[in-house]
Chain A
Amino acid sequence: MSLETIDVTDPGAVIDVTDHESARRGEAAPESVGSQQTYVVSPVPTGARPQRRRSTSNFRRTDVLAIAGSVIAAIALAGLLDELLPWNGALGFVVVAYVSFLGIYAIVVSFDESGPAVRDRSIAVVVQSLAFLLLMALVFVIAYTLIRGWQALVHSNFFVQDMQDAGPLDPLDVGGIFHAVIGTLWMISIALLITVPLGLTCAVFLNEIPGRFTRFVRTIVEAMTALPSIIAGLFVYATFILMLGMPKSGLAAALAISVMMLPIIIRAADVVLRLVPSSLKEASYAMGAGQWRTVWHVTLPTARSGLATAVILGTARGIGETSPVLLTAGFTAALNANPLSGPMVSLPLETFELVKSPEPNLIARGFGCAAVLMLLVLILFVAARMIGGRGPGNLTKRQRQKRVRQSKRDVERFDARVAAETGRSLKRRVDNPEPVSGHTAYPPTGGTHVANEN
C-alpha cells in the first residue's frame, strides 16, 4: 500500500497496521496533526493478512540453511577431492572439508550480506569450532583414559590388592593398586599437614602486617610458584636423601610435594584474603575487637569458602604430580603403610611405572590407575566447586537463615540483659523494626551478593 494516500485527519481512513512503517505513522499521526479528535485504528483491518508477531531473535532460517548447505557442499567437495587427490586418512579429509566449508559459507553469506557481516559470520564459525575442538579434545583425553582403564577397573581386586604377587604376565584378576592408593593418601596427608597451617598463616601474614618485609616475602612466594615440580623433587633428593642420608620414603616425597604446593596455596589464599571487604574488618575494629579477634571472627570466616577452594585446588595439583615423587619415593610393588621407612609409591608414579612395560595387562592396569587418580581429582574439584564458587561473604540460603536466627537470638539476649540491668522490659523493641534492623542488616547484604553471582 502506498503511504501517501492515507489522510490521517480523515476519520474514515483505514490504516493497515500489518505494514510496520504505516503502523508507526498511523499511531503518530493524531499527535502530529495536533487535532483534538481521536481516531480508533483497527488493529486487524478486515481483508488484510493477520498480523504476525515479529521474531526478535537473531537466529534466522536462512542462517541455518546457509550453514547446512555449506556443510553439504563442503563434504561433497572434500569427497570429490579425495577421489582426485588421495589424502592421508580421515584427518586430511576433515581438514579439507572444514577449510572448504569456511570458504563456501563465506561465499553463501556474501550473497545477501555486506563485508563486515560476512567477516562476522565467518569468525563466529571459526571461534565456535575452535572451542568445540578444544573441549572435545579435553573430554576425549579423559574418556580415553576411562575407556582403556575400564578393563582393570571392573575387577574388584584392583582396589584391594597390591602388585606383590602379580607378575607382568598375570591376568587382571590378580593384583591391584591398593599400595599406590595408600601411598598417595599418606603423602598428600603429610603434605597437607605441613602446607595448610603454614600456607594459611603465611597468607594471613601477607595481608595483616603490611610493610617492606611482607612485600619481599610475597615476591619470593610468587617467584616460587614458577618452580618446576621436578626441581622441588631434585631439591629434596639432594638435601634430604643425599645430604642427610635418609632413605627414599613416603616422607621425602611428601616433603617434595609440600615444597611444590606451598607457594600455590599461599598465593591463592592471599588473593582470597585480599578480597575480604575492608569495611567488615573496620567495623570489627570499631567495635573494639583486636587484630587477632578480627582475623579469627571476621576475616577467616568471610573468606572460608575461598580458602577451602585454594587448599583443595592445591591438593589436586599435589596429588597429580609425578616428577617429585619419582625422584624421592623410590618404587615398590608391595604395600607399605609406613611413610617413614621404605619406598612408597603413589598413584601417578604407579601409572608411570606400569605403562613403561610393553605387557598389555600392565598397560591396562596403568590406565586403570590413572582413571582412579583422575576420579580422585574430580571428587576434589567438585568439592571445591561446592564449597567455593562464591565470593567472600556470599552465603548459601541455609547459612543466611542461620545468620538471621542467630541475630534474632542476639537481639533477645541483649534485651534480656538490658531488662535485667535496668529492670525495664524492652519487649517492644523486638516488635519495633527500627532498632532491630541493625541486627538483620547483614542477611540482605548477603542477598545482594547472591544476586550479583551471575
Chain B
Amino acid sequence: MAVKTADVVSAEDDRVPTGTVIPEPFVDGDAQLTPRILRPKVVGSDRMFRGIIRASGIAVLVIMGAVGLFLTFRAWQALSVAGLTFLTTQGWNPDAGRGGFGIAAVLVGTILIGFTAILIAVPLATGTALYISEYSPRRIQRGLISLVDLMAAVPSVVYGLWGFFFLQGQITGLSRWIATWFGWIPIFSVDGADPSDPLSGTSPTLYTSSTFICGIVVALMVTPITCSVMREVFSQAPPGEREGAYALGATKWGMIRSVVLPFGKGGMIGGTMLGLGRALGETIAVFMIISFIPAIQSHILQSGGSSVSSLIALRYGDSTAFGTSALMAAGLALFIMTLIVNFIASSIVARSRSGAGTEA
C-alpha cells in the first residue's frame, strides 16, 4: 500500500527534496488508508504443535482439577453428616456419625507445630540469608548457597530420623527448664511439672514426643526454603542505594537496616509464608516423632500432640468408606489452609518491590 508522501522521497524521483516534507493530511473515509487486518498464517505443523501443547495444558488442568474436585466431593459426604460439629469436635471416630469426629484437635495441633517451626525458622533463616548475602567472603558464598539449596532437597524422613533419635534425647533438658521457669505462661505449662517442687516433672518421658520437638525438626526442614527466598531478595537490593547509605556514613548494619531489609521485606514475608505452608503440610517427620492424641493439646512442651497429616497417615488403613471420606474432609481442610497461606505468600512476593525473580 503506497502512501502518497512516500513518492516524494522515492528513488525513482530524481528531484530529491531539500526542505521538510509535509505529509498530506489523513483523509477520513479513504478506503486506501484503513488499517490492514493482520492475521498470522498458521501452517499445519504449527497448528499441530499448538494443539498438542494445548492438550497437555488441558490434561494438567484436568488432573489437578480432579484432585481438588474429588477431594471436595468425597469430603462433602462426611461434611454433610458432621455439619459444623466437624470444626468443633476433638475426637476422631467417624463411625459414630454426627459429632463423633472433627478436626478441632488436629487443626490446633497442626497450627501449633507450624507456628513453633516458623518462630524458630525465621530468625535462623534471616540471619543466614543476611550472612550469605552481606557478610560471607566471596569465595565461600556460592558454596553456602549450594549447601542451603541442597538442604532444601534432603528428604523429610532424614530430618525425622535425626529428630527422633538424636534431638529427642538432648532437648528434654531445655523443655524442662522452660516448663519450670515459664510454666506460668499457659502454653509452656506441663501437667505434672511443678516449679516449686524440684523432684516433680523430672521424668523425661513427660517431655518427649511433644509439639515443641516436632516444631524444631520441621523448623530445620523449612529454614532452607525460607532462607533461599530471603537471600535471593537481599542480594537484589540495588547497589546504588547501598553505596548511597555508605556514602552517608552508615555502618554495615545501618546500611542493612535502611536499604536491604526494607527492600527485602516482601521477600521475607513471602519466604516465611512459603515455609509455613510447607510446615503445615509436613507428614512423615511429625508422624515419626509425635505420639498422637486426639484432643487439643495446647501445652507444646508436653508429650503428645496431633496434626492433620499424621491423623491421615495413622488412620487411612483402618477406615471404612465413610471413614475415608472423613479423612478426605480433614485433608481438604489442611489443603485449604496451605492454599490460603501460599496464595498470600505469592501475592505479597509479587506485589512487593523486591518481587522480581523470587519464585521459589
Distance in angstroms between the alpha carbons of A145 and B42 in the assembled complex: 57
Distance in angstroms between the alpha carbons of A238 and B328 in the assembled complex: 9
Q: Which residues of A contact B281 (CB under 8 A)?
A: 226-231
Inter-subunit contact A141/B46 (CB<8 Å): no
Q: Which of B71, B150, B162, B224 contacts A231 (CB 8 A)?
A: B71
Is B244 an interface residue when CB atoms closer than 8 A count as contact?
no
Q: Which residues of B contact A198 (CB under 8 A)?
A: 56, 59-60
Inter-subunit contact B128/A134 (CB<8 Å): yes
Distance in angstroms between the alpha carbons of A204 and B57 in the assembled complex: 9
Kindly name the residue among A117, A120, A380 whose own CB sees the greatest number of chain B CB atoms within 10 A. Answer: A120
Chain B, range 174-230, C-beta contacts under 8 Å to A = 174, 176-177, 220, 223-224, 227
Q: Which of A123, A262, A320 contacts B60 (CB 8 A)?
A: A262
Q: Which residues of A contact B338 (CB under 8 A)?
A: 226-228
Main secondary structure on B side of the interface with A: helix
Is B334 an interface residue when CB atoms closer than 8 A count as contact?
yes
Inter-subunit contact B53/A201 (CB<8 Å): yes
Kindly name the residue among A144, A227, A263, A367 whose own CB sees the greatest number of chain B CB atoms within 10 A. Answer: A227
Inter-subunit contact A292/B45 (CB<8 Å): yes
Q: Give the distance to chain A from B289, nearest Cβ to Cβ, in Å.
A: 11
Inter-subunit contact B346/A222 (CB<8 Å): yes
Binds A, one of B9-17, B27-35, B249-257: B249-257
Is A100 an interface residue when CB atoms closer than 8 A count as contact?
no
Q: How many of chain A's residues have a CB under 8 angstroms from any CB in B?
A: 97
Inter-subunit contact A228/B280 (CB<8 Å): yes
Q: Which of A91, A235, A326, A381 contacts B284 (CB 8 A)?
A: A326
Residues A271 and B359 in contact in the complex (CB < 8 Å), given A202-B57, A230-B309: yes
Main secondary structure on A side of the interface with B: helix
Binds A, one of B101-109, B165-173, B295-303: B165-173
Nearest A residue to B254 by beta-carbon distance? A116
Is B84 an interface residue when CB atoms closer than 8 A count as contact?
no
Inter-subunit contact A317/B334 (CB<8 Å): no
Chain B, range 46-74, C-beta contacts under 8 Å to A = 46, 48-50, 52-54, 56-57, 59-61, 63-65, 67-68, 70-71, 74
Nearest A residue to B159 by beta-carbon distance? A141
Is B86 an interface residue when CB atoms closer than 8 A count as contact?
no
Q: Which of B123, B144, B170, B283 contacts A229 (CB 8 A)?
A: B283
Is A321 an interface residue when CB atoms closer than 8 A count as contact?
yes
Binds B, one of A4-12, A44-52, A347-355, A442-450: A347-355
Distance in angstroms between the alpha carbons of A231 and B346 in the assembled complex: 21
Q: Give the distance to chain B from A317, nearest Cβ to Cβ, in Å.
A: 7
Q: Which residues of B contact A304 (CB under 8 A)?
A: none
Inter-subunit contact A204/B131 (CB<8 Å): no
Inter-subunit contact B312/A316 (CB<8 Å): no
Is B348 an interface residue when CB atoms closer than 8 A count as contact?
no
Inter-subunit contact B157/A124 (CB<8 Å): no
Q: Which of B68, B155, B251, B252 contacts A320 (CB 8 A)?
A: B155
Is A234 an interface residue when CB atoms closer than 8 A count as contact?
yes
Map CB proximity to A onto B226-245 as digits: 1 under 8 Å, 0 otherwise.
Answer: 01000000000000000000
Q: Which of B45, B67, B176, B342 contacts A232 (CB 8 A)?
A: B67
Q: Give the distance to chain B from A365, nearest Cβ to Cβ, in Å.
A: 12
Q: Give the distance to chain B from A288, nearest Cβ to Cβ, in Å.
A: 11
Inter-subunit contact A205/B70 (CB<8 Å): no
Distance in angstroms between the alpha carbons of A25 and B148 in the assembled complex: 52
Q: Which of A130, A209, A224, A320 contacts B124 (CB 8 A)?
A: A130
Q: Which of B59, B68, B130, B359 contacts A267 (CB 8 A)?
A: B359
Distance in angstroms between the alpha carbons of A338 and B170 in the assembled complex: 43
Q: Give the distance to chain B from A305, nearest Cβ to Cβ, in Å.
A: 15
Inter-subunit contact B156/A262 (CB<8 Å): no
Q: Which residues of B contact A381 (CB under 8 A)?
A: 149-150, 153
Tally of contacts, chain A with chain B, CB under 8 A: 270
Q: Which residues of A contact B331 (CB under 8 A)?
A: 228, 230-231, 234
Nearest B residue to A363 by beta-carbon distance? B165
Q: Which residues of B contact A254 (CB under 8 A)?
A: none
Distance in angstroms between the alpha carbons of A237 and B318 in the assembled complex: 13
Residues A209 and B155 in contact in the complex (CB < 8 Å), given A88-B177, A145-B162, A217-B60: no
Residues A205 and B335 in contact in the complex (CB < 8 Å), given A144-B162, A231-B71, A319-B155: no
Is A366 an interface residue when CB atoms closer than 8 A count as contact?
yes
Inter-subunit contact B166/A238 (CB<8 Å): no
Is B158 an interface residue when CB atoms closer than 8 A count as contact?
yes
Distance in angstroms between the alpha carbons of A138 and B152 in the assembled complex: 10
Inter-subunit contact A145/B128 (CB<8 Å): no
Is A385 an interface residue when CB atoms closer than 8 A count as contact?
yes
Distance in angstroms between the alpha carbons of A231 and B330 in the assembled complex: 10
Nearest B residue to A385 by beta-carbon distance? B146
Is A131 an interface residue when CB atoms closer than 8 A count as contact?
yes
Inter-subunit contact B49/A291 (CB<8 Å): yes
Inter-subunit contact A326/B313 (CB<8 Å): yes
Nearest A residue to B311 by beta-carbon distance? A230
| Inter-chain pairs besides A138-B147, A228-B331, A370-B161, 18 sampled, C-beta below 8 Å | A128-B131, A134-B128, A141-B159, A202-B57, A221-B64, A222-B342, A226-B338, A229-B283, A292-B48, A293-B45, A320-B157, A322-B284, A323-B309, A326-B313, A351-B161, A352-B160, A352-B284, A355-B161
Offer 16 A-B interface pairs, CB within 8 angstroms, sorted by A.
A91-B173, A126-B127, A142-B154, A144-B162, A144-B166, A145-B158, A202-B57, A204-B53, A205-B56, A221-B60, A228-B338, A230-B312, A237-B324, A352-B160, A373-B157, A385-B146
User: Which 8 pairs, one residue from A and one from B, show the smallest C-beta to C-beta distance?
Assistant: A130-B127, A320-B155, A228-B281, A131-B131, A120-B251, A201-B56, A292-B49, A205-B57
